[in-house]
């Protein structure tokens, strides 16, 4: 579908999950990343935080972007009520996050930004995820074997804990993995001739 895409796509993400999702969509792309300090104003609401951070990552490319290039940036946040759970810095932080998520429903919000020399557009998707009650043994096993320190909320839905611990989701599964692929597909079509 995308073999005649008019722009060279640049994915600004080291995430192997996002890279695989783009490949599975049939896209050809180059990975190009920049270090960005992910700090956001304290007055932003949950979805606004994800969009703000995604756009922050995109702006890092503005001065060097070529007319034939399109940059895709993204940010995923995990929210328990109004609390935003970041990436855990160690085992104890991961254990606390997963203990907090145990037996509750939380939201995963992924924002995506598309940047070209002619402008920037952003979108986001919200998925509700419900964990069953997790035992301390299950949580420790997951952390020790999967080391989820690069993941918001201290878990990957596509890993062991997702198989045994998540009993219900409302919304896009792929959004929780790292990209709202159906929404992204539509946004990319808008940049291109009709497919």
| Catalytic residue selected from 75, 82, 90, 150 | 75
User: What are the distances in angstroms from CA 51 to CA 16, 67, 173?
Assistant: 21, 24, 19
Cβ contact 126:108 at 8 Å: yes
Taking the C-alpha atoms of residue 12 and residue 55, their distance in angstroms, rounded to an integer, is 11
Known active-site residue 4:
no
Provide the 3-class DSSP secondary structure of residue 129.
strand
Buried b or exposed e, range 29-65, using 16+ CB within 10 angstroms: beeeeeeeeeebeeeeebbebbbbbbbbbbbbbeeeb
Catalytic residue ranges: 75
């Amino acid at each position: 579908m995308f073999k005649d895409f008019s722009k060279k796509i640049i994915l600004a993400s080291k995430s192997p999950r996002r890279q695989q999702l783009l490949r599975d969509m049939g896209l050809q792309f180059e990975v190009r990343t920049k270090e960005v300090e992910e700090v956001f104003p304290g007055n932003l609401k949950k979805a606004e935080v994800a969009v703000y951070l995604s756009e922050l990552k995109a702006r890092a490319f503005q001065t060097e972007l070529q007319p034939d290039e399109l940059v895709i940036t993204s940010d995923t946040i995990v929210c328990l009520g109004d609390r935003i759970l970041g990436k855990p810095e160690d085992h104890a932080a991961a254990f606390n996050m997963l203990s907090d998520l145990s037996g509750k429903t939380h939201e995963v919000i992924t924002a995506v930004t598309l940047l070209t020399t002619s402008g920037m557009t952003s979108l986001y998707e919200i998925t509700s995820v419900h964990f069953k009650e997790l035992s301390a043994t299950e949580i420790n096993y997951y952390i020790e074997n999967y080391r989820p320190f690069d993941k918001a909320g201290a878990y990957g839905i596509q890993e062991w804990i997702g198989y045994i611990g998540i009993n219900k989701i409302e919304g896009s599964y792929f959004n929780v993995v790292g990209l709202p692929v159906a929404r992204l597909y539509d946004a990319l079509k808008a940049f291109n001739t009709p497919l």
